[in-house]
Amino acid sequence: MSRESRMRENRASGAAGRAFALHAGAWWIWALGLATAASRTTNPLLLALLIGVAGYVVAARRTDAPWARSYGAFLKLGLAVIGIRLAFAVVLGSPIPGTHILVTLPEVPLPDWARGVRIGGRVSAEGLVFAFCDGLKLATLLVCVGAANALASPARLLKSLPGALYEAGVAVVVAMTFAPHLVADVQRLRAARRLRGRPDRGLKALLQVGLPVLEGALERSVALAAAMDARGYGRTAQVPAAVRHTTSALTLGGLLGVCAGTYGLLADTGAGYGLPLLIAGLVLALAGLHLGGRRSVRTRYRPDRWGARAWLVSASGVAVAALMIWAGTSAPQALHPPAVPLTPPALPLWPAASILIGLLPAFVAPAPDAGGAPSPQPTTHREETAK
């Protein structure tokens, strides 16, 4: 099959070949929209619905890439957050006055100066329910971030940064690719301890391989720096001194403006000059960034394009967030069901319906790998996991 006809086929099926992949920024806006929505409610049914929506989209649209496999880790992290929150509620008590006492733990007597702190004591059902909903909210936030991480390669998002920020972006990308290497090194070295007849499990084993792992990471970063230098990283164009000075002035002035403006907005007085100052500062800083980009000779290879699908995906996230914020002001009771007295939470119809808008990407975003790139060969994959 010629490349032409394969491309045509991809386009027909909406497959996520590189040319048709969704802009990474769209996925992040969508996910942050869901996260904003989650931060506006403690209704467990709505939160569960949000998790369901994010999970469904991830299941439908994630690729086979290594970063896509991180979703499971975020789910586990979410569960851990709920667990920790509940444990705190049990041990340290809860500010919620409850009448349904489940158990009474022995209370640790504390001296006078620690008044207000309680360890042990009564554990009420209301307190636990409140803690659970609170933990669930945090877990939902994590799951939303995890969804963005699984759907869009973080490296591709950084590629969309303005030219002046490029070098900072590369540093982040390199750091992110280092983390998996570091984990693999730790595993390999812990396994090697077994060969010396030392236990390969436990904290001590982990600590003892620390130094060799760091040494290895350092050597690798030096090798990478050499390779990047030899491949032309950091080549700069000659820029007239006037432009350089203007760039510095704009950026510094802009940042000052942003700081002062933010202070004005947050402080009680000065709300009048806060907003204009903030906007002016932002404009100056952006102009500085734009000018700074001239120093870099870089070009971009196949940057992500912001197409109709990207508009739809990001709009769906923004819509969910906006509707939930609006619902928060119009029907606060439904979004924050009271923990006292204990009542089963009700599913508010309109907020629930608005969350379902977040499912849109599962249908409009391009499907991964429909007749696209071949999946990794089992043999090479195997070698990787073996290491």
Partner 1 sequence: MIRFEQVSVSYDGAGRPALAGIDLTVPEGELCLLVGPSGVGKSTLLGTVSGLVPHFTGGTLRGRVTVDGRDTRTHRPRELADVVGTVGQDPLAHFVTDTVEDELAYGMESLGIPPATMRRRVEETLDLLGLAGLRDRPIATLSGGQRQRVAIGSVLTAHPKVLVLDEPTSALDPAAAEEVLAVLQRLVHDLGTTVLLAEHRLERVVQYADQVILLPGPGAAPVVGAPAEVMAASPVHPPVVALGRLAGWSPLPLSVRDARRRAAPLRERLEPQAPAAADDVPPGDGEPAASVSGLGVRHGHTVALHDVELSVRAGETVALMGRNGAGKSTLLRTLVGMHEPARGTVRVGGVAPHRTRPRDLLRHVGLVPQEPRDLLYADTVAAECAAADRDAGATPGTCRTLVSALLPDVSDATHPRDLSEGQRLALALAVVLTARPPLILLDEPTRGLDYAAKARLVEVLRDLAGQGHAIVLATHDVELAAELAHRVVIIAEGEIVADGPAAEVVVSSPAFAPQVAKILAPQQWLTVSQVRDALEEAS
What is the smallest separation between the CB atom of 374 and partner 1, expressed in angstroms?
6
DSSP state for residue 331 in the 8-state scheme: -
Nearer to partner 1, 67 or 71 (CB): 67
Nearest to 300 by CA among 143, 123, 150, 166: 166
What is the smallest separation between the CB atom of 173 and partner 1, expressed in angstroms?
7
Coil, helix or strand for 248? helix
Indicate the helix (H) or strand (E) that contains 305.
none
What is the smallest separation between the CB atom of 120 and partner 1, expressed in angstroms?
41
Nearest to 158 by CA among 381, 149, 86: 149
Nearer to partner 1, 8 or 381 (CB): 381
Nearer to partner 1, 103 or 230 (CB): 230
- The answer to whether the CB of 69 falls within 8 A of the CB of 374 is no
Nearer to partner 1, 107 or 215 (CB): 215
Query: What does the binding site for partner 1 look like in residue numbers (CB under 8 A)?
Result: 17-18, 65-67, 153, 155, 170, 173-174, 177, 180, 188-189, 191-200, 208-209, 211-212, 215, 220, 223-235, 237, 297-302, 372-374, 376-386
What is the full DSSP assignment across 92-130? H--SS--S-EEEEEPPPP--GGGTT---SEEEEHHHHHH
What is the smallest separation between the CB atom of 113 and partner 1, expressed in angstroms?
48
What is the smallest separation between the CB atom of 310 and partner 1, expressed in angstroms?
19
Nearer to partner 1, 110 or 211 (CB): 211
Nearer to partner 1, 151 or 250 (CB): 151
What is the smallest separation between the CB atom of 61 and partner 1, expressed in angstroms?
16
Contacts of 202 (CB under 8 A, 6+ apart): none
Coil, helix or strand for 135? helix
